[in-house]
Every structure is written in C-alpha cells, then in structure tokens.
A and B are shown apart, each in its own frame.
Chain A
C-alpha cells in the first residue's frame, strides 16, 4: 500500500521537498547574517556599556519578515493540497473502487494513505517551523515578541499541530463531501475560523493570566523576558475599573501598556494629544493606577504544548470520522 501511495503522490513530495529546500536556503543565509549582526552589536555594546539601548537595533529585511510571517498559512496549504484531494479525488474519479476491490481492507487503505499524509504534514510543518524558530532567535532575544499572537503561531511546535489538523480536516471534508473543490473551500474556511477562535478566545485562558496594578509615577514592575501582555487598563481612585473595555477604542501606550484613552479622566484625555509625556503624571495625580494582565515568559512552552494538544486531538477526531465514513458507507 505504501508503494501505491508513493507512486500516486511522489510528484507532490518532490515539489514539496524542492519548495522546502528553497525556503531553507533563504532562511539559512539571511538567518546567519542576522545572527552575526546581533552578536557583533552585543559585543560592541558590551564594550561601550550601552546594551540598554540595543532595542533600537534593526534586524533583517521587511521582505524576509513578511515571508516568515506568511508561513502561518503553510498548514492551511498542506490541508488544501495534501488533505483535501487525498480521498476526495479517488471518490470523484472512481479509483477508490479499483483500490477497494484489491485484496486489502478499506481501513488499511485509509490508514496507510492518511498515515503518510499526516506524517509528511508533520515533518514539513515541523521543518518550516524549526527554520523559522531558528531564524527568529536573534529577534526573539532582542524584542521578546515570540509569545505574542502572530509570532507564537509560527514558532515552536504549534505549527506541527496546525499542519496535522489541517490535513486531517482536508481528508475528512473530502471524504464526507466526496468532491475535491468543496472540500478545499470547507478546509480553508473551517481552518481559518478555528485558528482565530482558538487564538483570540481560548489561548488567553489556558492558564489564568497574572494581573497586576502599577503606579504611573514609577516604571512598572515589568515582567521579564518574552511575556505576553494580554491586556492593559486603568484602575480609578476608588479602585473601580472603568466600564469601557480595556482594549476598546484608541489606546495610548504608557510604560509599554496600552491604556484606553476613553477611560481616562477628561483632564488627562486632553493631554494625550498636547503633551503625551505628561499624561502619566496627570493620571497619577488623579489617583489612577495602571492595570496589566499578562502571561509570563515561563509559560511559553506550556502554552505551546496545550495549543498543539488541542489541534492534535481535533485531528484525531477527524480521522476517526473519516475511518467510519470510509468503512461503513457505500463506495
């Protein structure tokens, strides 16, 4: 059966390997440049005792950042090109009837086909993610952004979970709909919707976020490393939290924490546009405190593990549904 899978899909495999090779060369070359740039900047600033100002250093080119950001769609592409047609094309062209009348069970047929597709997706998604993670390491060290939405989704192990889920989704949609094109549309739609729902509504709550208040007179007791600032806000003089949502409307970044301008007392609100630097002292004078909700850097891998686990479980459920449909339904 593996022999058949290879015969059928070797062209896709060659193409994917070639695309990955090109991507790898690009990232290895630019990543090495970036790493040496970062390290020479570190050496230079250590000599002149000015490493506190290192965050003004600009690394990499916008094109490369765009390319790396775009790897977020790689799992979806795998779902569309590998998952969707895997069973649907066979049902559409009737070749499943040819395969199912050979002396093997349909469940073995599906296991081998889906098994290789999922394995390839995990390997490919994993390779892309490993390259991106390595490439981003100087940027991570400099900007501590890798726990933020967007960066979190393209580094570490979550891309492997996304890739497995997308391919399983494609296989299941193709099997249930029996046609490739609608399966592709469903794969893209469901994948995008689920990623957004998980990232925006589930991920902030994997572990209860830490909430602290701080005075605007002193710099906030900033969490260290690559923490994820989930939200910022204001606490009024009486301890009341203004009703308007913390992330609604325009915000002003005070000590790195976004504060909703609409929630500020009107006296301070006027200052935002005239003299932003005085806004914090104005807020402090009116008895306001800052509020920040964040996930500390130490939870990064726990979050990666939880999110990967969610998508792997969903993938397993989809494969189970596919297996039932293939073995129980009429050919």
Chain B
C-alpha cells in the first residue's frame, strides 16, 4: 500500500507493464486529483489503453504501485462499484436489447440508477426495445456511457470513446460527460487523439509517449511552465543550462525552441511566446517520433 495524498483519485508510482518482450508501460508516475477531467494523450501504441486497463484492474501490473480511489485495483465488488470503464471497442451484447442491458446493470450493481439511465436514453432518442446490434456507433457509445454512469462511479475511465463518432455525436457525448462531472464527485480520465475536443472539456493532462509518462498535471500550470522561443540560429547551450529544451527545430536562419522554464527567459535574442495545448503535445510527441514530421500532422484528426 502507498500513502495516497488526500484528494488523489489516481496515484501510481513506477507503474510498469510488460507483455513478454514488449514493454507497454514503463515506470509511470501519474497523479489525478478528484473532480478533474484528465486528457490521456499519446501516439498509437504509447500505452494509453494499457494504463487505463491497469487502473480498472482489467490487467495486472508487472511492476510498481497503483492506488485507485485509495486501494489497489482488484476484482472486489466494492472496488468495481467505484469504477466506470469504457473500452475502446464499446463491447455490449449485440443480440440483447437496450432494456436487457439496463436489466444487467440493475442485477449486477448494488448502486444503480435505473431512472436516470432511462431518462437519458429517452432524451437521446434511443429506443429501449431495440437490439444493440442494430444501433448506430454513436448510439452504442451513448448507451455505453449511460450504463457506465448509472453505476454512479467515482472514477470514469474512457478509452477513445469518441473515435468512432461523427462531430455532432461527439459533441453530444462530451456534453453528456461534462454534465455528469458537473454533478460532482466524479473524476474522469479520457483518452483521445482529438485535441480540439479534449481542450474543450479537460483541465488535466497525462501525456504518454514511448511507454513513458512525459507530462502529468494541470493543463493551465503545464502551459504556463512552457514557452516557445524563436530566435536566430545560434548556440543554445546557455538556454539548455537554465531550462529544459523539449524540442528544437533549426532551419538555415532560425531556431525555434519549446522549453520547460525553470525561471524567466532572459536571452534578448529570442522572442518568447506562450504555448498552446496542441503545440505542447506535439512538441513532446515529436521528441519520440523521430525525424518524420508527417507522423505528427495526423494528430488532431480522425485516424
């Protein structure tokens, strides 16, 4: 057991997961305070799904410690009652009806809000007597979220829930989510490639690349800590000594640096500018993506 800080819903230390020869997650240190909507961002294969599955107790870590809602994830009903997990494939019983799924939830959960889930599905226009296999992808995602929320979890783990949705359904889904969080007592970790969507609803960031946590914290704080410096092509060792250079792009005449500040930047040759979420994310992901910038431009679009 680890002593969890009072308001952290998720706290991990050295959390690792190896599958035979592949390291899916290495030495991850993640803290998510209560009431946040955390964006879990990273390129494909960075370990986002692995992290979410470890937090949900669907996979066991091969190293390190993890505390979720104050205890290590387990198959104990008391733990599971506090967690809502939405897998990327949105697995539901295709041959059963929507109503059947509400019944399953009611039978398998001690805290179950059957009234609100019916009302919500009604307002979304999802017929209760329809089999799930005949619903659209958006309706299935909405149904899955509604069922998960009806458990009244304290932590919601969503693995790319909006990837398959059209822009309107995506907006509805996120509105639905924001509304649930506004009700209080709910913390969310949401993985997605859609930065614009995440920027709208999230106030916390976990950035994964190459199986490692690159950044974890409050989005506003992280943005304030980073700066883009644009200046002439020249020696940057002085800046490197004072700050951490996340990414450096050098053209024939110009140098663009993304830095994590450790104090004020005082080199007059460089012009400092604030950094946006997208720049920040791309900067960190670019560190590990090698020289091919083409890979980076796909971020923020449907894959």
Give the distance in Å from the alpha carbon of A99 to the alpha carbon of B92 in the complex: 9
B103 pairs with A7, CB closer than 8 A? yes
Q: Which residues of A contact B109 (CB under 8 A)?
A: 102-103
| CB under 8 Å from chain B, chain A span 89-128 | 93-107
CB contacts under 8 Å to B, within A74-97, are 93-97
A98 to B91, CA, bound (A): 6
Q: Which residue of A lies closest to B101 (CB)?
A: A98
* Given known A7-B103, A330-B53, contact A105–B93 (CB-CB < 8 A): no
Extra contacts besides A3-B107, A101-B83, A103-B80 (9): CB < 8 Å: A1-B108, A8-B96, A95-B91, A96-B91, A102-B108, A102-B109, A103-B81, A107-B75, A331-B58
Which interface class (under 10, 10 to 19, 20 to 34, 35 or more) fits B?
20 to 34
Cβ B96 vs Cβ A7 within 8 A: yes
A 1-17 binary contact with B (CB < 8 Å = 1; else 0): 10110011000000000
CB-defined contacts of B27 to chain A, threshold 8 Å: none
A58 at the interface (CB under 8 A from B): no
- With a 10 A CB-CB cut-off, give which of B78, B87, B148 has the most chain A CB atoms: B87
Tell me how far the C-beta of A149 lies from the nearest C-beta in chain B, rounded to whole angstroms.
42
- B94 near A: Cβ within 8 Å? yes
B108 touches A94 (CB 8 A): no
Judge whether A36 is part of the interface by a CB distance below 8 angstroms. no
Which of the residues B75, B103, B111 comes within 8 Å of A100, measured between beta carbons?
B75
Distance in Å from the Cβ of A156 to the closest Cβ of chain B?
A: 38
Q: How far is the CA of A98 from the CA of B94 in the complex (A)?
A: 12
- For residue A81, give the distance in angstroms from its CB to the closest CB of chain B: 16
Nearest to B157 among chain A residues (CB) is A101
CB of A87, distance to nearest CB on chain B (Å): 14
**Least Cβ–Cβ distance between A77 and chain B, in angstroms:** 21
Bound complex: CA of A4 vs CA of B77, how far in Å?
17
- What residue in chain B is nearest A327 (Cβ atoms)? B75
Across the two chains, which residue of chain B brings its CB closest to A108? B77
Complex formed: what's the CA distance from A105 to B93 in Å?
19
Considering only CB atoms and an 8 Å cut-off, how many residues of chain A contact the other chain?
23
Q: Which of B68-100 contact A (CB under 8 A)?
A: 75-78, 80-81, 83-85, 87, 89, 91-94, 96, 100
Q: Are B89 and A94 in contact (CB under 8 A)?
A: yes
Closest to A4 in B: B104
Q: Is the beta-carbon distance between B89 and A101 smaller than 8 angstroms?
A: no
Q: Write the residues of chain A forming the contact surface with B, with a CB cutoff of 8 angstroms.
A: 1, 3-4, 7-8, 93-107, 327, 330-331
Chain B positions within 8 Å of A, measured between CB atoms, are 53, 56, 58-60, 75-78, 80-81, 83-85, 87, 89, 91-94, 96, 100, 103-105, 107-111, 148, 151
**How distant is the Cα of A93 from the Cα of B140 in the complex, in angstroms?**
14
Q: In the complex where A97-B58, A101-B58, A101-B84 touch, is A4 in contact with B108 (Cβ < 8 A)?
A: yes
Chain A residue at minimal CB-CB distance from B92: A98
CB of A14, distance to nearest CB on chain B (Å): 14
**Residues of A with C-beta under 8 A to B93:** 8, 95, 98
A1 to B108 CA separation, bound complex (whole angstroms) = 7
Q: Are A105 and B76 in contact (CB under 8 A)?
A: yes
From B89, B94, B104, B110, contact of A7 by CB (8 A):
B104
Whether A330 lies near B77 (C-beta < 8 A) is: no
Q: Which residues of B contact A98 (CB under 8 A)?
A: 87, 91-93
Give Cα A97 to B81, complex, Å. 14
Residues of B within 8 A of A105 (CB): 75-77
28 contacts between A and B (CB under 8 A): A1-B108, A4-B104, A7-B96, A7-B103, A8-B93, A93-B91, A94-B89, A95-B92, A97-B85, A97-B87, A98-B87, A98-B91, A99-B108, A100-B75, A100-B80, A101-B58, A102-B80, A102-B104, A102-B108, A103-B78, A103-B110, A103-B151, A105-B76, A105-B77, A106-B75, A327-B75, A330-B58, A330-B60
A146 CA / B192 CA spacing, docked (Å) = 67
Residues of chain B with a CB closer than 8 A to A4's CB? 104, 107-108
Residues from chain A with a CB closer than 8 A to the CB of B53 are: 330-331
Which of B85, B89, B108 contacts A104 (CB under 8 A)? B108
Nearest-CB distance from A98 to chain B (Å)? Answer: 5
The smallest C-beta distance from A331 to any residue of chain B, in angstroms, reads 4
Q: How far is the CB of A113 from chain B (nearest CB, A)?
A: 13
Please give, as numbers and ranges, the residues of chain B lying within 8 Å of A327 by CB-CB distance.
Answer: 75
User: Which of A94, A100, A104 is most buried by chain B, counting CB atoms within 10 A of its CB?
Assistant: A104
